[in-house]
Chains A and B, each alone.
With several copies, the nearest count.
Chain A
Amino acid sequence: MYLARVFVALKKGVLDPQGETIKRSLASMDFPGVEEVRVGKVIELKLDAVSEDHVRTQIEQMCKKLLANPVIEEYSFEIMEV
């Protein structure tokens, strides 16, 4: 069994309104010094597969097809055996 952790984030330069709003509210809650906040997703998948290589190509495909939209998002992932 493998555990894959996929990180999906807005590309650099793409506005992150959520991050901006969190940043402002942290400032108003007296947390000084926060320069930037960006919010992304972590998608954890448990998969049954024959090999790590196979998982890797699977995940790559899932990201391209479903988990991220390359127009505004970028992704990365890590895989471990569990």
Chain B
Amino acid sequence: MEPTVWRSMGLRDDEYLRIKELLGREPNYVELGIFAVMWSEHCSYKTSKPVLRKFPTQGRQVIQGPGENAGVVDIGDGQAVVFKIESHNHPSAIEPFQGAATGVGGIVRDVFTMGARPIAILDSLRFGDLDNNRTKYLFSGVVSGISWYGNCLGIPTVGGEVFFDKSYEGNPLVNAMCIGLVDQDKLAKGAAAGIGNPVMAVGARTGRDGIHGATFASAELTEASEESRPSVQVGDPFMEKLLLEACLEIISEDLVVGMQDMGAAGLTSSSSEMAARAKTGLEIDVSLVPVRETGMTPYEIMLSESQERMLLVPKKGTEDRVQEIFEKWGLKAVKVGRVIEERVLRIKEGENVVAEIPVQALVDESPVCHYKVVEPLDRENLKLDLDAIPEPADYNQVLKSLLSSPTIASKEWVYEQYDHGVGINTVVYPGSDAAVMRIKGTSKGVAASTDCNGRYCYLDPYEGGKIAVAEAARNVVCSGAVPLAITNCLNFGNPEKEEVFWQFNKCIEGMSEACRRLNTPVTGGNVSFYNESPQGAVHPTPVVGMVGLIADIDNRLTQAFKTAGSKVLLLGETKGELGGSEYLYYIHKLTAGTPPGLDLNTEQRLHRVVLEAAEKGLLLSAHDCSEGGLAVALAESVITGSLGVKVKLPQFDGRLDALLFGEDQSRIIVSLSEDMMPELMEVINRHSIPYHVLGEVTEDGFLVLTASGSEVINLSTGEITNIWREEIRCRMS
């Protein structure tokens, strides 16, 4: 075989030799194609695997850690939450609408293959600065795509984040997370167990879409990618809705041994992974696979990435019932093969064997790349010289400007396009720190948030990784929920670049430390490398998707101030750390400094205080300080509560901008009625958390902040509401 053949499939020469060795012969074309996708970065995690091992994955709450289609955690009463996050960055960069839509489709399938009914979607998005037409086109297309797909499925999209930074210009990040609910005894797995069991293809027919999509995701975007047409697929949320209902119905009738989404690398990866998990083999006859185009070759059928398809192993003898259920939903379930004892993936076309590969060779023997971790020496340019930055004269103006920064401004324009109420479980709607879903028939609720500040990770990947986890946990805590576990989506540049691989390592180490300390193990995730545009790698962006549990949803909290006269407290310490802040980026066009420090012990005690206080019903609101610092957090609580606040800022020696806009970690603003103060003080003192009484919620509708006796900010709630709420809508219309 010519080297050009395997190279064009993205295989390296040494990998080709290894394949020959594993097979004991030359692979044929079909086999080579199968190896190429299975050994691609996207499917094999060859670069990330050794690093991912650093994540803590154990905990009493964990029912299923990494390795399955999605993670599973215990929420009591025999129930569990199934959740995972995944990226669709590259498809979204060239076809934002369909790219984002099919991203949602994929992650939802990962959740319902586990037997869970999806109850919520979150989306974590990154774009370049929102001032050019291309970015607007991408932003608008991505949001409509998510909206179209999620809404049609009838799964509420209840939360997420949108971050704008020029590092994402040309390479947006589109990560979608899905959460499902399941009774533990109905959990399904992606294993092809039971020798002789049938293997069925269900859902959409197979076309020529996205052949080699998995290898596409493993290479940098170039201008030519715009032309690489077949790599983007069109989604069919209607088909997916039918598939969802049919799959849940066969699971509820206990007909299923295992099933898996035909996602990246389609039939190839689903069949080999299912066989690997069960330590079995599969025999598949591609001529039985329903196709939508004529003349498809075995190669194309095995590698197609047509959407809305699943591979299903039902219990032997239940094929007819399975077919009946799928037909009821207007779908086909077709037997295409069977589970065999010999641990090989045997692909036939009629009677002809067209490929035969040991399953382990595909899944376990995939190459591992051990890149060196080299700390970049020259990071001088990232140093922050605060003295070179003039202190603003008019803080009202600066706050107004910050509230209009698209990263801080209200994302109403986004989440209004998402059906966030379908299912009537949403009890905290988008627009607070974390969304909360009630579990009908119980008093429980599940809270969720996605978080990551890529700028922090760029400036200090270790601290940035830690903060991503801590912030997600803090957001969940601000809703009154105990953080349970995380899923993550690691968006990085080209890992063959030393700096990128170093960032990757450091981020994971930082995240791991935080996960360990906060007792939120990693249950799964996804790695997306090669997020590069002509300007270079994107900021390292390890997005954390956190889920938490509220025992009694009557104790849930939101960020909005509730009643005039209530006391406002800041829990945590204010140090005035401006490094990596949105203030520096948006007002002074600077990405520099060291991100705020984070002490995990303090963080944990802070969580305890808020959770205990919430459980005792002491609090009226809770909101953490994140992008924009204390001033922005206060403004947000005022705006969402349509009230005012009168605040005396903490005693502070440094610069006023640092006090107002510094993004010091581990800070939560709470409000409560005055008579609850003694009880709150008791909790605060017991956990020895620093605090400061900021002031009082007011009726008059003004945000008034004074520092050392003089007024530094005085703005009407009406005015800042307009700015904050309308900015994105204005830019987008």
Contacts and interface: CB of A to CB of B under 8 A. Distances in A.
Q: Tell me if chains A and B make direct contact, with any CB pair below 8 A.
A: yes
B232 A72 contact: yes
Contacts of A50: none
Most interface-central of A10, A17, A24, A70 (chain B CB within 10 A): A17
Contacts of B233: 15
B95 A13 contact: no
A15 B306 contact: yes
A14 B234 contact: yes
A15 B292 contact: yes
B229 A15 contact: no
Nearest to B204: A15
A10 B209 CA distance: 13
B98 interface: yes
Interface in A25-74: 29, 69-72
B94 interface: yes
A29 B307 CA distance: 27
Contacts of B9: none
Nearest to B228: A71
Contacts of B236: 15, 17, 20
Given A71-B229, A72-B229, A17 B239 contact: yes
A72 B229 CA distance: 7
B653 interface: no
Interface in B86-106: 94-95, 98
Interface string B619-643: 0000000000000000000000000
Nearest to A29: B133
A5 B194 CA distance: 51
A29 B136 CA distance: 13
Interface string B125-159: 00000000100000000000000000000000000
B293 interface: yes
B29 interface: no
A72 B98 contact: yes
Interface in B222-269: 226, 229-230, 232-236, 238-239
A52 to B, nearest CB: 26
Contacts of A70: 226, 229
A64 to B, nearest CB: 12
B238 A72 contact: no
A15 B203 CA distance: 14
Contact of A13 (B94, B133, B207, B239): B207
B208 interface: yes
Interface residues of A, number: 15
Contacts, number: 41
A12 to B, nearest CB: 9
Most interface-central of A10, A21, A70, A71 (chain B CB within 10 A): A71
B76 interface: no
B50 interface: no
B234 A71 contact: no
A31 to B, nearest CB: 14
A21 B242 CA distance: 12
A13 B230 contact: yes
Contacts of B293: 13
Contacts of A14: 209, 234
Contact of B95 (A16, A17, A21, A69): A69
A15 B95 contact: no
B330 interface: yes
Contacts of A69: 95
Nearest to A10: B234
Main secondary structure of the interface of B (DSSP, over half): loop
Contacts of B133: 29
Contacts of B292: 15
Interface in B49-98: 94-95, 98
B232 A13 contact: no
B208 A13 contact: yes
A72 B94 CA distance: 10
Contacts of A13: 207-209, 230, 293
Contact of A15 (B209, B226, B330): B209
B234 A16 contact: yes
B243 to A, nearest CB: 13
B238 A11 contact: no
A24 B329 CA distance: 13
Given A17-B238, A17-B239, A72 B330 contact: no
A42 to B, nearest CB: 17
Nearest to B226: A71
B421 to A, nearest CB: 24
A20 B236 CA distance: 10
B532 to A, nearest CB: 19
Nearest to B91: A71
Contacts of A71: 94-95, 226, 229, 232
Contacts of A20: 236
Most interface-central of B232, B234, B235, B239 (chain A CB within 10 A): B234
Nearest to B225: A71
Contacts of B94: 71
A70 B235 CA distance: 17
B238 A15 contact: no
A11 B330 contact: no
Given A15-B292, A72-B95, A72-B229, A21 B238 contact: yes
A75 to B, nearest CB: 14
Contacts of B330: 24
Nearest to B330: A24
A16 B239 CA distance: 12
Contacts of B95: 69, 71-72
Contact of B234 (A21, A24, A29, A72): A72
B296 to A, nearest CB: 11
A72 B234 CA distance: 8
Interface of B: 94-95, 98, 133, 204, 207-209, 226, 229-230, 232-236, 238-239, 292-293, 306-307, 330
Interface of A: 10-11, 13-17, 20-21, 24, 29, 69-72
Given A15-B306, A17-B238, 19 more contacts: A10-B234, A13-B208, A13-B209, A13-B230, A14-B234, A15-B204, A15-B209, A15-B233, A15-B234, A15-B292, A16-B234, A17-B235, A17-B236, A21-B238, A71-B94, A71-B95, A71-B232, A72-B98, A72-B234
18 contacts: A10-B234, A11-B229, A13-B208, A13-B230, A13-B293, A14-B234, A15-B204, A15-B234, A15-B292, A15-B306, A15-B307, A17-B236, A24-B330, A69-B95, A70-B226, A70-B229, A72-B95, A72-B232
